[in-house]
Amino acid sequence: MALLHPAAGARGTVVRGVRGDGGSGAAHEALPPAGPAARGLGALAGLRAGDRRRLRLPLPERPHAEGRDPLRRPVPALRKPAPAGRDPGGAARAGREPRLPRGPLGVGRRRGGAARRSGASVGLREKGCALEITVVGSGTAVPRLERRQSCVVVEAGGETLVFDLGSGAVRGMLRAGLDPFSVDRIFFTHFHPDHTVDVVPLMFAIKYGAETQRARPLALYGPDPFEEFFGKISGVWGEWMLGYYPTEVLGLAHTSPSPVELPGARIFWAPAAHRPESIAYRVEGEGGAFVYTGDTEYAASVVELARGAHTLLIECSFPDDSPVAGHLTPSGAARIASEAGVGRVVLTHVYPPADALDLEAEIGRGFSGEVLVAEDGLKLHV
């Protein structure tokens, strides 16, 4: 749990974090020792005890006249999403950047069914559909053309929610037909770069790359000690990240006695077994619940969080014959899905050795429901 207090700094206030370790995770991924957060966050406001603590970031000082940002140039409006298999603006870059070979990827393969193309939708898009889910990144730390690092977008109640922002996520949103500038809330499962690094280019793009200056708030959530983690990032990039709009950084305790209440959904979370701070999320909408595990190995807390969910987006990193601490294999993913009684399993965070397997068949040995293997651009409806 992070306890924050202000300390005098060169410009206003420096936020320093003191934390007590907790949770479970692999020994080789232990949290680094707590230290002073980097300068530039400004004064604390609205801090409250309980399951969430709110930190409002002050608007940065304007070094220039209102509306005359020297780095802001008029940019064209976002183009319409490119058809599956086409790179937006590909013709303009012909010969300079390779296109992604989308055709043979088989997005959202169903067990025993034909391969699905990138951007395909799974689930009936009915009138009362409350949650629209896009797997933007289904990959890992291994660089691969067909799999960006972890990111999933949920559209609910008129808001755009982003869970994790690994490398390539911002461009992946464009590829999937999503507007990165429309993001309202960002939720992080843990602090590894393949789940967080694109928060910098996203906020940089919002500040300098948008056609119009943002006015509505942006909220960022993460497990304790998230305020300290974000403070270090903003200490390096803050001048370029923090825009002239309300920004809130909210730390989440490892259990959620009360959910985040949104107009069209409620968000719960629970500890995951990966790093000490790791958590998984559950989004409940009118049509059912969607659960995203982030990185984890088997954990009873993840089973309880996923209990009765319509769709479980679960990591499946390695084969059963070569497990890695803090991650799941097909048998572990199937065990969580079966014990939780979920309706549909979607596998993500797939390393190449696991990708070489028939994962639908592997999961099918321990789980009798629907099984999909996510690939970037897969859309789901709950």
Residues forming a β-bridge with 379: 121, 134
Question: What percent of the chain has pLDDT above 90?
Answer: 63
pLDDT band at 126 (very low <50, low <70, confident <90, very high): very low
Q: How far apart are CA 340 and CA 325, in angstroms?
A: 22
| Mean pLDDT, the chain, integer | 77
Which residue stretches of the chain are H helix?
169-175, 193-196, 199-208, 226-241, 300-305, 330-340, 352-355, 359-364
Give the model's pLDDT for residue 200. Answer: 97
Residues forming a β-bridge with 381: 132
Q: Tell me: the pLDDT tens digits for 301-331?
A: 999 999 999 999 999 999 999 999 999 999 9
Question: Is the confidence at residue 160, as pLDDT, over 80?
Answer: yes
212 CB-near residues (< 8 Å, 6+ apart): none
219 CB-near residues (< 8 Å, 6+ apart): 184, 185, 186, 247, 248, 250
pLDDT band at 238 (very low <50, low <70, confident <90, very high): confident
Q: What is the mean pLDDT of residues 338-343?
A: 98
Q: Whole-model pTM? A: 0.73
Give the model's pLDDT for residue 344. Answer: 98
Question: Is the confidence at residue 64, as pLDDT, over 70?
Answer: no
Of the candidates 191, 170, 116, which has an alpha carbon nearest to the alpha carbon of residue 378?
116
Give the model's pLDDT for residue 357. Answer: 97
In three-state secondary structure terms, 289 is: strand
195 CB-near residues (< 8 Å, 6+ apart): 149, 150, 164, 165, 166, 188, 189, 294, 295
Domains of the chain: 103-381 (3.60.15.10)
Question: Is the confidence at residue 127, as pLDDT, over 90?
Answer: no
Give the model's pLDDT for residue 255. Answer: 86
pLDDT band at 115 (very low <50, low <70, confident <90, very high): very low
Q: What is the mean pLDDT of residues 226-234?
A: 95
Q: Tell me: the pLDDT tens digits for 174-214?
A: 999 999 999 999 999 999 999 999 999 999 999 999 989 99
Question: What percent of the chain has pLDDT above 70?
Answer: 66
What's the burial of 95, exposed, middle or buried (CB within 10 Å: 0-12/13-18/19+)?
exposed
